[in-house]
Amino acid sequence: MAEARITPRSQDYAQWYQDVIREAGLAEAAEVVRGCMVIKPHGYAIWEKMQADLDRRFKATGHENAYFPLLIPLSFLAKEAAHVEGFAMECAVVTHSGLKSVDGVLSLKNELEEPYVVRPTSETIIGHFFAKWIDSYRDLPLLINQWANVMRWELRTRLFLRTGEFLWQEGHTAHATHEEAKEEVRRMLDVYRAFSEEIMAVPVIQGVKTDNERFAGAVETFCIEAMMQDGKALQAGTSHDLGQNFGKAFNVTFQSEKGEREFVWQTSWGVSTRLVGAVMMAHGDDDGLVLPPKLAPIHVVIVPIWKSDAEKAEVCAAAHKLAAELRDDGLSVKVDDRDNMRPGEKYYQWERKGVPVRIELGPRDLASQSVMIKRRIAPLDANGKPMKEKLAMDGLGVALGKVLDEFQKFLFERALAFREANTVSVDSWAQFEQVFAGEGSKFVWAHWDGTAATEKAIKDATRATIRCIPHPGHGPKAESGVCVKSGQPSRQRVLFSKSY
Amino acid sequence: MAEARITPRSQDYAQWYQDVIREAGLAEAAEVVRGCMVIKPHGYAIWEKMQADLDRRFKATGHENAYFPLLIPLSFLAKEAAHVEGFAMECAVVTHSGLKSVDGVLSLKNELEEPYVVRPTSETIIGHFFAKWIDSYRDLPLLINQWANVMRWELRTRLFLRTGEFLWQEGHTAHATHEEAKEEVRRMLDVYRAFSEEIMAVPVIQGVKTDNERFAGAVETFCIEAMMQDGKALQAGTSHDLGQNFGKAFNVTFQSEKGEREFVWQTSWGVSTRLVGAVMMAHGDDDGLVLPPKLAPIHVVIVPIWKSDAEKAEVCAAAHKLAAELRDDGLSVKVDDRDNMRPGEKYYQWERKGVPVRIELGPRDLASQSVMIKRRIAPLDANGKPMKEKLAMDGLGVALGKVLDEFQKFLFERALAFREANTVSVDSWAQFEQVFAGEGSKFVWAHWDGTAATEKAIKDATRATIRCIPHPGHGPKAESGVCVKSGQPSRQRVLFSKSY
């Protein structure tokens, strides 16, 4: 089967994204189910790596996993006014149970007394159970996480970034005081930031959302925002201070140490399969996917090189022996010994899939007890060709471990440098409009007067939105100024960008 | 909060089951969502241990995980006649998207052109994608597994064993020949048997289902059947030979090596959260849950014993130090240093949760550098009290590892002995009726004439069904005889029991 071409990013970024997803075998649109996707094995393996690392972090911070029903009674959704406002239009609704077949044609059988919605998020159903489980201050804090699928039928969908159904985790916690809940919100935002930077190699800006961008039902929404290679922002994780909103809606109360009945303070926080899209768009290039080693299902692919059958037998045996040794060193290794494909084609396929390191192993390498390795992104030699490196067989596992650590660091630093090169402070409306003209986007630090009206005027004019009001240390030094649009006073710069 | 009583098994087995689930904190009925349940942290942690072990076995046998849509177009279900027949009545159906709110009352907004069913199983939607992905014999075998939630609204539900929504894995594979598919079906049944016996400590009988008990759409269904403590059978896993049924329904074809277009041969296989119920009913006792160490979220609980504050500080510090050392040895350890509860109450709670080993740690133990341990089920001393064992602090991790291995083996052997003591060969109808009279059940090996009519007559008379026709080596020696009901000739005995 001939490989299809990957459209260069510079030519059509959106098409590049689709091409890489297809060529790397990450996912495909499930065109028969509105807005949904199939996550193919390579894409799912990346999500599994994300899950394993996040789950470890959640448990280390005291959370336990549980599982709540997929279906939520319609009336539950209506109990928190802002919440239903935010999610009602996107809900899939179950109205019937059972089908009857007449002459092979299926029709609906039993209408339900009350319809259910397929969960778009689980604050309401979990609130219902928290009310049953929490009785005293001794039951608090209650720290729960759920790994689940959710559905939000939105009009415009895009693989991984915005799909009708997606996979995610949703943390839900209840606390005795607002201060404790706020600490939890910050703690989990920190967990997300650390995960994004250490594992995904994607630097993020953290801060708080404006009223307009807040989660439906929250008091405050905190977020981490990452820059993609087209200069747009991707919201990579959110952590919500729910105040007592859901506590009041679902009557979640506890007896305090003083013996008084009080509403609990709640939080929720989540990240989803959209992170697979974030990794793609942060690191991928015109040759395909580029994976940070900590998320790579395969760290190293070994491609044996042979000319004769005798050579084939020798190098393939050596390749499998080497793979077994490297696996003992904790590396995930694939030997590609297919005999219906030339080495060059194999290189090409594994590059598209983003494997961080390739090993070429031929008879000459065996003789010299060394291997040639090539990083997925390598420095260029004098002729502009990516350099290969010669490594001794002896101690190869340790040496490759070092190469992978370097590559992880390289990707983070490259992404950080890219973001810095594409971040500007803007003080005039003309310059602001210029940055966001056409398909253009950067991260823009600009003063804003704090009103929803100005926020909307800026969005209508440029499609740029306020990604967050940065936390101290996560943006430019606090300084007062005047709003880039209205000229009214501003206390600090906020982050503007177009976004996914 | 006072502990509620656990009804003894001998008094009311079904109530005992409910009581243990409640007291161990495994799950609860989500009474607001018809037939569904909430899996609470302790229950979910057991499921996670099951998932981790099974996932490793699936990957070791060459399978990759992927994720397919939750919703299935109604028309897909109708494409395989036997399949739709089997599942139509249990389907939850999504008919609308979006809600509108008028004066706070929600109503449905957009009716879908074609309804979707919430997947009861995924053969149909996966068949659709297999048809897109498979082109040549080089694409085969295709070995996929999915971890997912599914819905089957059945009339009678029971926590873990039969719930409206449940969690499971479903393997789906496609092969070039029927022989290869049949090998896969057997391989995965072996994986399930090994998992059940080695990890769950539950012995199983493996065999093939009768036509009547076969998966809707399969050519053959293979199963493993476990005995619960009331003598009833629980189907613990199934592996289906789908033949070309779904290949033909979804036009899944490949070009063979000879250049001919052929339909693929498919398999599917699954186990679910009902296995948590199986473990409970195989090992639990009147004090609560009993967990095999390989599924125990907590291997060892340390209960520090003190009288004075000075003692408390000393033993708690020592307990946490010991826990850290045991964790380094790979054990999962909990220190219960709550100060609002006496040691006896703590013992009681952790026994109910099924923790395999308890360590009691007091000042005298510290002085002698030893600990007292108690197995969840221990041999009785001369006074009929469960024995405790004294173990040296030095090398405790290794010693406890040995205790846990012994306990795992003990549970398996106890379950096996129980099954053997409750398995009988029956040759007369009078004796057959007697075994299954009232609430009675055992595993009964009896001759059957091979007809659906006799199978039904036996079920109608006794509620016992044919659990499986055993594989060679998994039942009594093959011998011909006459059917226990009809007196007609029979070639081998089959396994009868009441079942969950």
Q: Which of residues 331-370 of A touch B (CB under 8 A)?
A: 340
**B151 and A CB contact within 8 Å:** yes
Q: Which two tokens stand for residue A101?
A: 């077949």
Using an 8 Å CB-CB cutoff, list chain A residues near B94.
92-95, 118
Three-state DSSP state, B500: coil
For residue B6, being part of any structural domain is answered with no
For residue B359, being part of any structural domain is answered with yes
Three-state DSSP state, B172: strand
Residues B406 and B469 in one domain: no
Residues B470 and B365 in one domain: no
Instruction: Name which of A30, A48, A106 is nearest B88 (Cβ-Cβ).
Output: A106
For residue A242, being part of any structural domain is answered with yes
For residue B17, give every residue at least 6 positions away whose Cβ sits within 8 Å of its Cβ, in sequence order, or none.
B158, B159, B277, B280, B281
Q: Which residue has the tokens 């033909």?
A: B248
Residue in A closest to B80 by C-alpha:
A104
Minimal Cα–Cα distance from B351 to chain A, Å?
20
What is the residue type of A39?
I
Q: Which pLDDT tens digit goes with each residue over B37-67?
A: 999 999 999 999 999 999 999 999 999 999 9
Burial of B186 (0-12, 13-18, 19+ CB in 10 A): middle
How many domains in chain A? Answer: 3
Instruction: Name which of B84, B100, B129 is nearest A101 (Cβ-Cβ).
Output: B84
For residue A288, being part of any structural domain is answered with no
Phi-psi region of B464 (alpha: psi -120 to 50; beta: other; left: phi over 0): beta
Cβ-contact B329, B398 below 8 angstroms: yes
Give mean pLDDT, residues B422-445: 97
With CA atoms as reference, report the closest residue to B83 among B34, B129, B130, B119: B119
Q: From edge to edge, which strands make up the β-sheet containing A465-470? A: A64-65, A142-151, A165-175, A265-272, A233-243, A220-227, A204-208, A465-470, A493-497, A443-447, A423-425
Residues A361 and A251 in one domain: no
Cα angle A368, A374, A375 (rounded to 5 degrees) comes to 145
Instruction: Name which of A78, A128, A144 is nearest B104 (Cβ-Cβ).
Output: A78
What is the interface pTM, i.e. ipTM, of the complex? 0.96
Residue-level pLDDT at B104: 72
Residues B217 and B331 in one domain: no
Using an 8 Å CB-CB cutoff, list chain B residues near A152.
none
Best of B71, B165, B327, B341 to mutate (most A CBs within 10 Å, chain A): B71
d(CA B497, CA B500): 10
Residues B187 and B308 in one domain: no
Residue in B closest to A38 by C-alpha:
B68
DSSP conformation class of B476: S
Residue-level pLDDT at A69: 98
Judge: B151–A70 Cβ closer than 8 Å, yes or no: yes
What number of C-beta contacts closer than 8 Å exist between A and B?
A: 203
Q: Beta strands B333-335 and B300-304: pairing type?
A: parallel
Give mean pLDDT, residues B368-383: 95
Using an 8 Å CB-CB cutoff, list chain B residues near A38.
66-69, 129
Using an 8 Å CB-CB cutoff, list chain A residues near B84.
99, 101, 106
Residue-level pLDDT at A1: 42
Distances (CA, A) of A374 to A303, A347, A355, A388: 11, 10, 10, 5
Of A105 and B120, the structure prediction assigns the larger pLDDT to B120
Residue in B closest to A167 by C-alpha:
B67
For residue B5, being part of any structural domain is answered with no
**A2 and B CB contact within 8 Å:** no
Residues A261 and A388 in one domain: no
Instruction: Name which of B32, B73, B106 is nearest A78 (Cβ-Cβ).
Output: B106
Cβ-contact A112, A94 below 8 angstroms: yes
Is residue B3's pLDDT more than 80? no
Judge: B165–A70 Cβ closer than 8 Å, yes or no: yes
Boundary of a domain, candidates A385, A413, A441: A413
Instruction: Name which of B64, B69, B95 is nearest A41 (Cβ-Cβ).
Output: B64
d(CA B222, CA B213): 10
3-state helix/strand/coil string of chain A: CCCCCCCCCCCCHHHHHHHHHHHCCCEEECCCCCCCEEECHHHHHHHHHHHHHHHHHHHHCCCEECECCCEEEHHHHCCCHHHHHHHHHHCEEEEEEEEEEECCEEEEEEEEEEEEEECCCCHHHHHHHHHHHCCEHHHCCEEEEEEEEEECCCCCCECCCECCEEEEEEEEEEECCHHHHHHHHHHHHHHHHHHHHHCCCCCEEEEECCHHHCCCCCCEEEEEEEECCCCCEEEEEEEEEEECHHHHHCCCEEECCCCCEEECEEEEEEEECHHHHHHHHHHCECCECCCCHHHCCCCEEEEECCCCHHHHHHHHHHHHHHHHHHHHCCCCEEECCCCCCCHHHHHHHHHHCCCCEEEEECHHHHHHCEEEEEECCCCECCCCCECCEEEECCCHHHHHHHHHHHHHHHHHHHHHHHHHHCEEECCCHHHHHHHCCCCCCCEEEEECCCCHHHHHHHHHHHCCEEEEEECCCCCCCCCCEECCCCCCEECCEEEEECEC
Boundary of a domain, candidates B352, B386, B418: B418
Residues A135 and A241 in one domain: yes
CATH of the domain at A471: 3.30.110.30
Residues A259 and A385 in one domain: no
d(CA B218, CA B225): 19
Give mean pLDDT, residues B293-302: 98
Instruction: Name which of B39, B40, B99 is nearest A93 (Cβ-Cβ).
Output: B99
Residue-level pLDDT at A56: 98
Cβ-contact B146, A149 below 8 angstroms: no
**A139 and B CB contact within 8 Å:** no
With CA atoms as reference, report the closest residue to A321 among A371, A357, A271, A258: A371
Instruction: Name which of A72, A84, A94 is nearest B93 (Cβ-Cβ).
Output: A94
Cβ-contact B409, B446 below 8 angstroms: no
pLDDT averaged per 10 residues in sequence order, chain A, 500 residues? 78 96 97 96 98 98 98 93 89 94 84 95 97 97 98 92 97 98 98 98 98 95 98 98 97 97 98 98 98 98 96 96 97 95 96 98 96 96 93 97 98 98 98 97 98 98 97 89 97 96
Judge: B91–A98 Cβ closer than 8 Å, yes or no: yes
Residue A17: Cβ within 10 Å count: 24
Burial of A385 (0-12, 13-18, 19+ CB in 10 A): exposed
**A144 and B CB contact within 8 Å:** yes
Minimal Cα–Cα distance from B27 to chain A, Å?
9
Residue-level pLDDT at B2: 46
Boundary of a domain, candidates B283, B302, B321: B283
Q: Which pLDDT tens digit goes with each residue over B463-480?
A: 999 999 999 888 898 899
Q: Which two tokens stand for residue A451?
A: 């009103």
d(CA A252, CA A126): 10
pTM exceeding 0.90: yes
Give mean pLDDT, residues B374-378: 97
Q: Which two tokens stand for residue A376?
A: 């997925």
For residue A1, being part of any structural domain is answered with no
Using an 8 Å CB-CB cutoff, list chain B residues near A65.
41, 44-45, 48
Is residue B262's pLDDT more than 60? yes
**B54 and A CB contact within 8 Å:** no
d(CA B271, CA B171): 9
**B94 and A CB contact within 8 Å:** yes
CATH of the domain at A347: 3.40.50.800
Q: Which of residues 111-130 of B touch A (CB under 8 A)?
A: 115-118, 125, 128-129
d(CA B480, CA A6): 66
Residue-level pLDDT at A4: 67
Cβ-contact B489, B482 below 8 angstroms: yes
The model's confidence at residue B284, banded by pLDDT at 50, 70 and 90, is: very high
- What's the start-to-end Cα distance of chain A, in Å? 33
Residues A135 and A46 in one domain: yes
For residue A289, being part of any structural domain is answered with no
Residues B146 and B161 in one domain: yes
Give mean pLDDT, residues B108-112: 93
Residues B299 and B330 in one domain: yes
Using an 8 Å CB-CB cutoff, list chain A residues near B95.
93-96, 108
Residue-level pLDDT at B102: 79
Using an 8 Å CB-CB cutoff, list chain A residues near B134.
none
Residue-level pLDDT at B1: 42
d(CA A470, CA A45): 33
Segments forming the whole domain that contains residue B401: 293-418
CATH of the domain at B49: 3.30.930.10
With CA atoms as reference, report the closest residue to B94 among B114, B79, B76: B114
For residue A456, being part of any structural domain is answered with yes
For residue A201, give every residue at least 6 positions away whose Cβ sits within 8 Å of its Cβ, in sequence order, or none.
A282, A283, A292, A294, A408, A409, A411, A412, A415
Residue-level pLDDT at A340: 87
